[in-house]
Amino acid sequence: MKQNIETFIGCDCEYEKAEIVLFGAPFDSTTSYRPGARFGSSAMRHESFGLETYSPYQDKDLTDCFVFDSGDLELCFGNTEDALSDIEQHADQIMEEGKMPLLLGGEHLVTLANVRAVYKRFPEMHIIHFDAHTDLREDYLGAKLSHACVIRRCHDMLGDGRIHQFCIRSGEREEFAFAKEHTDLHPFDFEGLEQVVQQLKENNTPVYFTIDLDCLDPSVFPGTGTPEAGGVTFMQLLHAIRLVSETKIVGADLNELAPMLDQSGVSTATACKVLRELLLSLKK
């Protein structure tokens, strides 16, 4: 008799054969408004059994992919640097064994830890960032390690011109001013993505791909801490993901699902489908 084992649907490859390793970072300790993203990764895993492994959009099936789901990390609430450090170590281990770390948040700050691990191996990498918010604050009420500062911290590492932001529709005036100088910010939707992808492909640039699910319109994704009207549709997001997957992706994450904020379950189901489509588009 076998013990109960719960993975994201179709992600039950043996570790040795796996090309991608999923792992969850159930952390939202710096979320200043409405918390709950800590429950995102486990909700996706738990509800994924209502999803098919097959995608009619891509005519591919998760059962043909090589994905291992290593479950959720147990992270410390109340000590941000410790939590980030645990995430980074886990990503390090995955990369050492030649696999790609695909992180499920949690709040967006967890991205920083995964980026740090990937950056060590790919210092020339670019970031493609889908989000409603710029996340470019220097600090938030004094904290530099905050969900509202995560892309700014990434910029501290990567420097100018290597962060490509899309769907952005919310931020302080100073953040948009910063972006004008230092990042490649595309407001509101995916305009300009094709050209960015084209260039990254030509240069074979390694790409870290971070998706804050609140880039989606709240109509289709209400279950997130800071919903912002005026987002993209699910079909636009799928199309954009397939575009980005033409580049050389070396690390990725999906974050900011707060399942308790949408009791209809639609947000979790949609997040599951976004993950399925992302995994399938990464399969060459």
Annotated binding site: 108, 131, 133, 135, 212, 214
Using CB under 8 A as the binding rule, whether residue 192 contacts its own copies is answered as no
Closer residue to its own copies (CB): 220 or 243 = 220
Alpha helices in 218-265 (DSSP H): 234-244
Q: Which of 95, 270, 278, 280 binds its own copies (CB under 8 A)?
A: 270
What is the rounded distance in angstroms from the CA atom of residue 108 to the CA atom of residue 91? 16
Using CB under 8 A as the binding rule, whether residue 203 contacts its own copies is answered as no
Report the DSSP pairing between strands 60-61 and 54-55: antiparallel
Please give the structure tokens belonging to residue 32: 């200043």
Residues 249-268 that bind its own copies (CB under 8 A): 261-266
Q: Which of 50, 123, 159, 161 binds its own copies (CB under 8 A)?
A: 50
Q: Which of 48, 165, 183, 226 binds its own copies (CB under 8 A)?
A: 226
Binding-residue total with its own copies (CB under 8 A): 81
Residue pointed to by tokens 């804050």 = 212
Phi, psi of 24, deg, nearest 5: -105, 145
Closer residue to its own copies (CB): 6 or 194 = 6
Among 140, 185, 142, residue whose Cα is nearest residue 164: 185
Residues 126-165 that bind its own copies (CB under 8 A): 140-143, 145-146
What is the rounded distance in angstroms from the CA atom of residue 272 to the CA atom of residue 202? 31
Q: Which of 72, 131, 135, 253 binds its own copies (CB under 8 A)?
A: 72
Using CB under 8 A as the binding rule, whether residue 74 contacts its own copies is answered as yes
For the CB of residue 94, give the shortest distance to its own copies in the complex, in Å. Answer: 8
Closer residue to its own copies (CB): 71 or 192 = 71
- The DSSP letter of residue 61 is E
Among 75, 9, 7, 90, residue whose Cα is nearest residue 276: 9
Closer residue to its own copies (CB): 99 or 125 = 99
Among 116, 126, 45, residue whose Cα is nearest residue 86: 116
Q: Give the containing element (helix H, strand E) for 91.
A: helix 80-96
Of 112-120, 150-158, 198-206, 213-221: span binding its own copies (CB under 8 A): 213-221
Using CB under 8 A as the binding rule, whether residue 220 contacts its own copies is answered as yes
Using CB under 8 A as the binding rule, whether residue 273 contacts its own copies is answered as yes
Using CB under 8 A as the binding rule, whether residue 191 contacts its own copies is answered as no
What is the rounded distance in angstroms from the CA atom of residue 184 to the CA atom of residue 197? 13
